[in-house]
Amino acid sequence: MNGPAGPSRIARFAMAVAWSSFLAAGVLELLVFAVVDPGELRWFGAAPVESSPQTVYTVGFLVFWAVIALGASLTLLLVSLPADDVRPARRSPGWPR
């Protein structure tokens, strides 16, 4: 008797990208804001950023998360492993044994 079907391959990839990029964004935010004070930020050297530090931390985290998730998604797209149940019928003549 088979149990309920698990998440699809795309759902597993999406979860892997979302979770790993979430963790990486958290570490990156810790590293960046250990050096950068949100109260001292300026718009391209001119006017100061008129936002609370919590807003700067939140927006920074979301930007870091989006950029890292995009990079991880592109990596998975380029790798694009074949499905687990699909196997080639035979090897090409030049492949190692």
The 10s digit of each residue's pLDDT in 20-34 is: 999 999 999 999 999
Four-residue CA torsion sign, 18, 24, 27, 28: negative
Residue 79 has pLDDT above 60, yes or no: yes
HSE-CB at 91 with a 13 A cutoff on CA atoms is: 5
Q: What pLDDT does residue 92 have?
A: 63
Secondary structure element (H or E) that encloses residue 19, with its range: helix 9-35
Of 12, 17, 10, 2, nearest to 75 by C-alpha is 17
Residue written as token pair 């797209």: 77
Q: What pLDDT does residue 85 have?
A: 59
